[in-house]
């Protein structure tokens, strides 16, 4: 009877954690779209205001806090192996919001041809989410401070942490000293930090939940250790991820980061919290199948975000004629910085098609004055 009651409690906790994670992912995607809309509208106006002075941006910020709070609490109820892959819901929601608000209307045939892969990715993400949630680990453990310390000093965790530290130091050496700015190298650093993040987040959220239930856990040293590690790993993880998006295609970075982070998070949960210890082979295989479908779905969704080769005018000074000229000869005189930022160019960072400037690309005919112009000759008309 006690076993059935414990299984029922575990199922209820997993359901609560799963719903909180899905809710948090959807809210975060909506909040980012709201903030993006705020930046776009502010750029269209001529008001000299910063983005944090707009109500729309603060509305998005409040939604981000709510969504991240829900994600944080979800780790206290559900296993890491169930919560971590649910980040695919965020990719799915962001893509759908992009279709609804940032895409121009087009014919059904052209729309299906252009975005067929994205819809196929939606199907894979939904199907994969159902599989790994249904067949994922159903283990639930009260994360008391004593239990966390017991997990931490176990030899599998110590060996795992040692391997992670060695791998992180090697990757960091090649990235900083050898200038190995490859996307895989940077995102492996992000994933290694992410595995530490999910371990500490689950520990901190679990102990906070027990404290709210009446069992004080905040006075244990392990809580402070986990909290500091959580904050530090989140900060450095965000920095490396930002560098990856600046140096490489953000869509590709989002796809690879989801795959790497999910794999490392699941492995961390399996090693540290023994989440798959009581699972049979069938459940593990179905969980892996669901995760693979989500990986494929995220890849298809991000792959469908093609970067259009648009007219990006840059202004140079024609020394011979002394007039500014707008060029678009297809050459990278002022090259686009891997699609994320282009110095001196009108770039598109918000996914909204930029307006083509109606300019004459030909050089205007300009009469150059000599050093001693004839008396009475009128000056050139200023622009």
3-state secondary structure 53-78: HCHHHHHHHHHHHHHHHHHHHHHHHC
pLDDT given at position 127: 95
Report whether pLDDT(72) > 90.
yes
Report whether pLDDT(22) > 80.
yes
In a domain, 252, yes or no: yes
Residue by residue, DSSP assigns 81-115 as HHHGGGHHHHHHHHHHHHHHHS-----HHHHHHHH
- Whether the pTM exceeds 0.85: the reply is no
Q: What percent of the chain has pLDDT over 70?
A: 72
In a domain, 84, yes or no: no
271 confidence band (pLDDT: 50, 70, 90): very high
In a domain, 221, yes or no: yes
pLDDT digits (tens, 9 = 90+) for 282-315: 999 999 999 999 999 999 998 876 554 443 444 4
pLDDT digits (tens, 9 = 90+) for 123-160: 999 999 999 999 989 877 788 999 999 999 989 999 99
In a domain, 11, yes or no: no
In a domain, 269, yes or no: yes
In a domain, 377, yes or no: no
Q: Give the chain's domain count.
A: 1
Q: What is the mean pLDDT of the chain?
A: 79
pLDDT digits (tens, 9 = 90+) for 355-369: 444 444 444 444 444
Asked if residues 164 and 336 have their Cβ atoms less than 8 Å apart, the reply is no
Q: What percent of the chain has pLDDT over 90?
A: 52
> Which secondary-structure segment (H or E) carries 327?
strand 323-327
Long-range contacts of 6-12 (CB under 8 A, 24+ apart): 6/140, 7/138, 9/140, 10/138, 10/139, 10/140, 11/138
In a domain, 263, yes or no: yes
Domain of residue 241, residue span:
141-274
Q: How far apart are CA 295 and CA 198, in angstroms?
A: 19
In a domain, 147, yes or no: yes
């Amino acid at each position: 009877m006690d076993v059935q009651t414990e299984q029922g409690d575990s199922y209820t906790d997993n359901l609560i954690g799963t719903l909180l994670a899905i809710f948090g992912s959807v809210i975060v995607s909506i909040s980012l779209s709201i903030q993006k809309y705020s930046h776009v509208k502010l750029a269209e106006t001529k008001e000299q205001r910063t983005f944090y002075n707009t109500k729309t941006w603060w509305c998005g910020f409040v939604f981000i806090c709510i969504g991240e709070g829900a994600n944080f609490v979800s780790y206290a109820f559900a296993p890491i192996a169930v919560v971590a892959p649910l980040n695919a819901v965020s990719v799915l929601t962001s893509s759908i919001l992009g279709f609804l608000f940032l895409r121009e209307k087009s014919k059904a045939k052209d729309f299906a041809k252009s975005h067929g892969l994205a819809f196929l990715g939606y199907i894979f993400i939904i199907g994969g989410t159902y599989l790994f949630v249904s067949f994922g680990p159903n283990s639930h453990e009260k994360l008391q401070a004593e239990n966390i310390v017991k997990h931490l000093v176990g030899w599998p965790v110590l060996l795992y942490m040692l391997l992670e530290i060695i791998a992180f130091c090697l990757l960091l050496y090649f990235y900083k000293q050898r200038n190995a700015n490859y996307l895989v190298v940077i995102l492996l650093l992000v994933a290694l930090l992410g595995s530490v993040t999910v371990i500490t987040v689950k520990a901190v959220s679990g102990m906070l939940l027990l404290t709210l239930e009446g069992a004080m856990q905040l006075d244990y040293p392990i809580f402070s250790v986990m909290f500091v590690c959580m904050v530090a790993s989140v900060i450095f993880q965000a920095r490396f991820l930002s560098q990856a998006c600046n140096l490489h295609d953000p869509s590709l970075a989002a796809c690879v980061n989801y795959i790497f982070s999910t794999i490392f998070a699941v492995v961390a949960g399996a090693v540290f919290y023994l989440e798959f210890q009581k699972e049979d082979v069938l459940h593990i295989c179905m969980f892996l199948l669901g995760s693979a479908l989500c990986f494929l779905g995220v890849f298809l969704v991000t792959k469908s975000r093609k970067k259009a080769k648009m007219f990006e005018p840059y202004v140079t000074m024609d020394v011979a004629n002394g007039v500014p000229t707008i060029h678009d000869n297809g050459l990278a005189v002022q090259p686009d910085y891997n699609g994320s930022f282009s110095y001196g160019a009108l770039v598109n960072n918000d996914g909204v098609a930029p307006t083509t400037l109606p300019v004459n690309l030909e050089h205007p005919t300009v009469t150059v004055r000599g050093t001693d112009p004839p008396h009475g000759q009128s000056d050139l008309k200023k622009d």
